[in-house]
Amino acid sequence: MKGHLFNRRRFIKESSKAAAGIVLLPSLANHTQARTPPPRIRFSVIGINHAHIYGMTETIIKGGGELVSVYAKEPELIATFLKKYPQAKPARTSKEILRDPSVQLVLSGSIPADRAPLGIEVMQHGKDFLVDKPGVTTLEQMAEVRRVQKETRRSYTIFIERLESRTIPKAGALIKAGAIGKVIQTIGLGPHRMNPKNRPPWFFDKKYFGGIITDLGSHQFDQFIYFTGSTQVEIVSAQSGNLNHPQYPALEDFGDVMLKGDKGTGYLRVDWFSPDGLKSFGDSRLTILGTEGYIELRKTTDLSGRPGGDHLFLVNREENRYIDCSKEPLQFSELFINDIINRTETAITQEEVFLAAELGVRAQAEAKEIKLLTV
């Protein structure tokens, strides 16, 4: 990445810390316990700047992927990655991976602003791309990614919460069975804990992470599309700002958006204000309102005291029920690899991926800056 604005030694140190203490969805913790199937595809990793890449790698291995090689600019990050995945061959350049005809899929957890340019290169080399969220950070990137994907017919998939959640498929099945009638609104809340001492410097600069709505809102935009079935969506209002971190002037710590789709309405709020007393990185919640009831997903924690995450609450005309989703099966990894082999879209469709990403960058671009008066 050209023009580093941060101290490289500090960046490497903090990224390595993050890799040692990965925080992703609760369900990913079980991946290493599962029996690994025989490899069905070969994949490589380019860019390990965000620790989410470890969970992504576990997911693809779990589904039948063989990890072939890895490349990153930072040798210390490579060393940390190879301690966990010694089977990966360290590549000298990203081109070495892109030119390897045996590699079918490339994963990336690079700096967010660098992800779309890399994904374009990956697709132009005839490979599929699985990238951490946010997969794009600007409208210009979005347009170019769409163009190249259409031209190459390669998959450009953004790894978002729905793909590794146990509660969302269960909610979808209940809704399909008519448990809450027709869905008319989703309310998605995505609070996160900041942990500033463990964050790399690019985390604090909007031009590298794309803005809080683009970044953290990725999950909520996708879930709005998934549960309402909307294919045409209007940004009714959007706002974002830095409300309580003046020491990081290029950071955003709060954002919210109102949506109007052709099949439902939505609201989402994202922030960096999860208190230290919470036992998870954030109390991630989704409320799905139907004409005959509602469902609430408590994905990471239940404040009433139930352990772990993956909690679902259903209220309708007949019942008020709690459902523990912690044993629900995860299907993304197997479906995704099937899609790569068969050139299908059963795990998630390309248009769903692109619509959610586009809503994020559009809402961010349209967001009014919030400035609160200080006493």
The terminus-to-terminus CA distance of the chain in angstroms comes to 41
pLDDT surpasses 50 at 285: yes
Please list the residue range(s) of the chain that carry CATH number 3.40.50.720.
8-159
Task: Please write the tens of the pLDDT for every residue from 153-194.
Answer: 999 999 999 999 999 999 999 999 999 999 999 999 999 999
Query: In this predicted model, which residue has the larger pLDDT, 22 or 214?
Result: 214
Region for residue 211 given its phi and psi (left: phi exceeds 0; alpha: psi -120 to 50; beta: otherwise): left
Q: Is the pLDDT of residue 23 over 50?
A: no
Element (H, E) at 41: strand 41-46
ω into 134 cis (within 30 of 0): yes
Residue 256: what pLDDT? 98
User: Residue 189 — left, alpha, or beta (φ > 0 → left; ψ -120 to 50 → alpha)?
Assistant: beta
Res 10 pLDDT > 50: no
Tell me how far CA of residue 71 lies from CA of 7, 68, 106, 119, 365, in angstroms: 21, 11, 11, 14, 32
Can you tell me the distance from the alpha carbon of 75 to that of 94, in angstroms, rounded to the nearest whole number?
14
- The sign of the torsion formed by the CA atoms of 69, 115, 104, 121 equals negative
Instruction: Please check the confidence at residue 28 and state whether its pLDDT lies above 90.
Output: no
Angle at 208 (CA atoms; ends 244, 275), nearest 5 degrees: 30
Token pair of 63, please? 């589904």
What's the confidence (pLDDT) of residue 8?
A: 37
Name residue 310's amino acid: D
Tell me the pLDDT tens digit for each residue of 44-76. Answer: 999 999 999 999 999 999 999 999 999 999 999
Separation of alpha carbons 15 and 356, rounded Å: 27
What is the per-residue pLDDT for 374?
Answer: 62
**Residues for the chain: how many in total?**
375
3-state secondary structure of 307: coil
Confidence bin at 26 (pLDDT 50/70/90): very low
Superfamily, domain 163-330+362-369: Dihydrodipicolinate Reductase; domain 2 (3.30.360.10)
Query: Could you tell me the pLDDT band of residue 305, with boundaries at 50, 70 and 90?
Result: confident
pLDDT value at residue 201: 93
Strands 311-316, 293-298: pairing kind: antiparallel
Integer Cα distance of 19 and 318 in angstroms: 46
What pLDDT shows up at residue 66? 98
When pLDDT is averaged across residues 288-316 and rounded to a whole number, the result is 95
Reply yes or no on whether the pLDDT at 7 is more than 70. no
Tell me which residue has tokens 């690899």. 337
Q: pLDDT at residue 11 above 90?
A: no
Query: By the 8 A CB rule, do 283 and 274 touch?
Result: yes
Contact of 48 with 77, CB cutoff 8 Å:
yes
Question: Residue written as tokens 């060393």?
Answer: 79
Strands, E assignment, 214-360: 233-241, 254-261, 264-271, 285-290, 293-298, 311-316, 320-324
Backbone angles phi, psi at 87, to 5 degrees: -75, -15
Per-residue confidence band for 35, with pLDDT thresholds at 50, 70 and 90? low
Note the pLDDT tens digit of each residue in 205-261.
999 999 999 999 999 999 999 999 999 999 999 999 999 999 999 999 999 999 999
Cβ neighbours of 371 (radius 10 Å): 9
Q: Which CATH class is domain 8-159?
A: alpha beta
Give pTM, 2 decimals. 0.89
Q: What is the pLDDT of residue 344?
A: 98
- Residue ranges of the chain assigned to CATH 3.30.360.10: 163-330+362-369
